Amino acid sequence: MKKFLAKKMMLLVGLVLLGLTFSSFKDDDKNFKVAKNLDIFNTIFKELNIYYVDTINPDKSIKVGIDAMLDGLDPYTEYYPEEEMGDLNLMLKGSYGGIGSIITYYKGRVAIDEPYEGMPAAKVGLKAGDVLLEIDGKDLKGKSVAQVSEMLKGQIGTSFMLKVERPGAKKPLEFKLTRESIQIPAVPYYSVEANNTGYIQLNSFTGKPSKEFKDAFLALKKKGITSLVIDLRNNGGGLLDEAVEIANMFIPRGKEIVSTKGRIKQGDRSYKTTREPIDPEIPITVLVNNSSASASEILAGAFQDLDRAVIIGTRTFGKGLVQTTRNLPYGGNLKLTTAKYYIPSGRCVQAIDYKHRNEDGSVGRVPDSLTTVFHTAAGREVRDGGGIMPDVEIKVEKAPNILFYLVMDKLIFEYANDYCVKHPTIASAKDFVLTDEDYNEFKALVNKANFKYDRQSDKVLKNLKEVAEFEGYMDEASEEFKALEKKLSHNLDRDLDHFAKDIKSVISTEIVKRSQFQKGAIIQQLKGDEELAKAIELLKDQDKYKSLLKPGKTNAEQKSVATAK
């Protein structure tokens, strides 16, 4: 018996050693391949540097090589050389040294698009529409937006002179600006809406959003709100910890909000609420859309999985990947994906599988048929692999094609400049109305500019004609095509009238923000917001609100109950 056990033990030890040997061979083979290919890359660059017909810029060439390598992974893994670290810091901290203004390209020059309230640009009196001519006497003609942006940014406390051309002014104006730490607000607006419903717009999870959110929520509590709408639309995310902090204001201590799992053990972590919530009972609705991503999906997903809020809007983006940063030699940095995150039900919302690419290198979303069913704390069905599907889905009509081109061609921007010259003061954002007479003036400006835009109907009709001709149907259908071409003929005045509501809304926002900044623009945009109205309506009907958070209905049944009028 002892001999048998001894033989068995020897065999077991032998298998373990054999496994370790194979593992060692595998690791050695991988390390050899890494060393071999790095040596090949190094040698190729040296040969090019010595023998190539033209002089090679080493920084640019290596950067192109690195970027091409990272492009094969995912869009969130990026290399930042020392000179681009400002972009990474802005992404992580939401702050930079500058004047606090969005700039844009306008009529061959860079111009102020929107100064931030309370920041250096606004303090000295810069306005949207101001065309930038010189910085410290250096002519900016021919400079790109990126180049001018770098010139405006700099060390906090440093000053410079800026010369601008202002619409309606007879001669250029000069301003002395001192750079400050520019912190982009994560909560640009909050208010009390109908039925004592609080509204908080959360634009980002960079900087200190949890502090801003807490201050806003406590201010609304003092005003007597009895329910809350959290607006995460177009919030692209940021810091995971900040999403957990905000969730903790409404979710009891000790609840897991999110966990991460990576290839190495350091990527595995669980994030739980650590304090008692400020208000664990207040009814909440969360607005999301297809641009709500990352930390936004963690917050919305945690609320949904823990049955703490009703999610309203359209399916979110579907980013379930976590990035960390690694310091590199010579002041650079590598932002790389190190883990996936999982919300309380255990699901990951990542919509695109970058590991398994098509033969042409493209990637696609995970089809709904391949997603897995998970369950919320109360037992409601939810799915992974495609973002957060709202409890109440609201289909939002796409902006008309003509509006895109009016914005891109800066015709709305130009009209707002002219309008503000003629109207130095306007009504508050809540009361401002663009009249029919004003809109007729805008239409006249568009017609005078000989405005052209891409019409999707023309493209589709052209493709259909080509197919009909190829398949031999053109002779029989020629009269029908002529009639359709006549009906779809280019009619600018008709389109400006047909889409007047959408166009007027954008014009009004552009005008209001010139004197009332971002807050005024948000107030203007929220007028007639159907999703916000649906959120407030649902919070008013507590029976319907509570029914959506209970199990027992299929997703389709839940949606039909929620969307019925």
List 294, 296, 345, 508, catalytic entry = 294
362 is catalytic: no
Measured over the CA atoms of residue 553, residue 285, residue 521 and residue 429, the dihedral's sign is positive
List 127, 163, 319, 519, catalytic entry = 319
294 is catalytic: yes
Instruction: Please give the backbone phi and psi of residue 218, each rounded to the nearest 5 degrees, phi first.
Output: -65, -35
List 231, 305, 384, 438, catalytic entry = 305
Both tokens of residue 116? 């931030």
CA separation, residue 120 to residues 127, 135, 183 (Å):
12, 15, 12
Q: What is the DSSP string of 379-441?
A: --EEE-SSSPPPSEE-PPPPPPHHHHHHHHTTHHHHHHHHHHHH-SS---TTT----HHHHHH
Q: Which of 304, 302, 335 is nearest to 321 (CA)?
A: 335
Decide: 295 and 205 in contact? Cβ < 8 Å: yes
Phi-psi region for residue 301, left (φ > 0), alpha (ψ -120 to 50) or beta? Answer: alpha
Separation between Cα atoms, residue 456 and residue 446, nearest integer Å: 20
DSSP strand pairing (310-313 vs 284-288)? parallel
* End-to-end Cα distance, the chain: 80
CA separation, residue 538 to residues 37, 201, 542, 548 (Å):
60, 18, 7, 10
| Single-letter residue type at 461 | L
Q: Which of 325, 353, 320 is nearest to 339 (CA)?
A: 320
Which residues have C-beta within 8 Å of that of residue 238, sequence separation ≥ 6? 91, 92, 94, 204, 205, 206, 207, 209, 294, 295
- Helices 401-408 & 411-422 angle (0-180, nearest 10): 70
According to DSSP, residue 499 is labeled T
Q: Which of 414, 411, 438 is nearest to 504 (CA)?
A: 438
Q: Which long-range contacts (CB under 8 A, 24 or more apart) does 470-479 make?
A: none
- Three-class secondary structure of residue 38 per DSSP: helix
Residues with catalytic function: 294, 305, 319
